[in-house]
Amino acid sequence: MAFLSEKQQSADTTAFFGALCLFFSTLEYLFPRPVPFFRLGLANLPIMLAIDVLSFPQLLILGLLKVLGQGLIHGTLASYVLLFSFCGTFSSLFVMYGARRIPGLSYLGVSVLGALVSNTVQIGLSLLLVFGTSAALIIPYFYTMGLLSGAGIGLFANWFTDGSAWYTALAGGRSLPGSFEGIREKNQEKTAAQPFRRKHRTDHLSKVLRPGERFTLGLALIIPLVFQESLVFRAVHLCLLAVLCVMSGKRLSWLYFINLLFWITLFQQLSPFGRVLAKIGPLSITRGALEAGIGKSLLLIGLVFTSLFSVTRGLKLPGKLGGLIGRMFYYFEQLYQGKHRIRRKSFLRDIDLLLKDAQALPASYGRPPGDTAPDSSGPSVMIRTVSAVTVLVVFYSVFAAGLFLSGN
């Protein structure tokens, strides 16, 4: 990002940390949540790491990007979950920012304090707005999980910041590309990492829809996905989104999504309800938990598919905040597409190089080397209108059919 001004590079770094928040937030769906608003706090890890990199105003913008980004990806912008996310994010941000300035306090202490404060705020909101006084029953569980998850995230942060050249360079304000020459020279072994190269895939949707229109279309398709009551028609919706992703030239890791479906559904059985279908030792497989697990899995995968097809490198949302959100989703796409590069034997080094290479892409301030400028004329208004209306009609017809059959 050497071609960016200092102000632009600062904004770009904020957007990149926001993308990391979204990336970690998707991992939380691998774990069961006995109450809807409970989170392990993985998405707070990038905020904690950003404290030594960004100024306080930039941290506040990062917190806002995290809340809005999670709301867009998980379809919670219009639900009470957004309020819980907002209050939990900013309460922990303020506490972690202050705690980080206590001499001798490591990320372990900072993370635990942030997690406990976030849990306290969310418990208070649940008492006031959702469950009433009955929510007092989950207070011990909340604090226990907050302590354990906060400690685990803090230990990881200590380990990562001690060994990561990417973070050391970023926190020290050094040029990212130059700071990694030592890593590349040191690791010229048989497992040495290769530069970030992506196989070119044709984006067919760019011929019929502009980036902003595609993003708006994606937002419109979240509604039928979230409110679809039929699992069968939600699966149909998912398949149609997969077609759009392929048409957009995006790579889909089907094994990853199948694994996601399996584990979310399995973990959901830890909170059984409904008719018992089978028993596997002490575990009861119930119809309610099985349908809830499959439904949650399809929803998460569908939201990721929506993000993949609707966010493209040419996306420019209005205003400064819109520009940051566009870049954040662009970087989220790069991290998602590059996750296969991380191997267990060279975990830290692979993460370092993935983060460095993904962040080095110019995003909205320019196109990667070798890209050709798009046709300035673009698709005609007629083609764009017909294309958007066709997609909407197909998806909302599936939505209506699902509601009709569910009602019967």
Instruction: Give the tens place of pLDDT for each residue, 158-208.
Output: 998 888 888 888 887 654 444 444 444 444 343 344 444 445 578 888 888
Q: What are phi and psi of 279, to 5 degrees?
A: -130, 130
Residue 181's pLDDT is what? 45
The verdict on 148 and 250 lying in the same domain is: no
For range 246-253, the mean pLDDT: 82
The verdict on 154 and 83 lying in the same domain is: yes
Residue 26's pLDDT is what? 72
The mean pLDDT value of the chain amounts to 78
Q: Is residue 376's pLDDT more than 80?
A: no
Any domain includes 372: no
Q: Is residue 43's pLDDT more than 80?
A: yes
Contacts (Cβ under 8 Å, ≥6 apart) of 150: 41, 111, 112, 113, 114, 115, 116
Any domain includes 370: no
Domain count, the chain: 2
Residue 365's pLDDT is what? 45
Q: Give the predicted TM-score (pTM) of the model.
A: 0.62
Structural domain span for residue 144: 1-203+316-361
Of 288-297, 313-322, 370-379, highest mean pLDDT: 288-297
The verdict on 234 and 168 lying in the same domain is: no
The verdict on 10 and 137 lying in the same domain is: yes
Any domain includes 34: yes
The verdict on 30 and 134 lying in the same domain is: yes
Alpha-carbon span 323 to 321, nearest angstrom: 5
Any domain includes 294: yes
The verdict on 250 and 321 lying in the same domain is: no
Dihedral of the CA atoms 360, 249, 233, 273 (nearest 10)?
-30
The verdict on 216 and 307 lying in the same domain is: yes
For range 8-29, the mean pLDDT: 82
Alpha-carbon span 247 to 254, nearest angstrom: 16
Any domain includes 306: yes
Residue 130's pLDDT is what? 57
Instruction: Give the tens place of pLDDT for each residue, 117-135.
Output: 988 888 888 777 655 565 5
Pick 34 or 145 by higher pLDDT: 145
The verdict on 348 and 234 lying in the same domain is: no
The verdict on 185 and 255 lying in the same domain is: no
The tally of CA atoms less than 13 A away on the side-chain side of residue 32 is 16
The verdict on 392 and 263 lying in the same domain is: yes
Pick 392 or 197 by higher pLDDT: 392
pLDDT category of residue 389 using cuts at 50, 70 and 90: very high
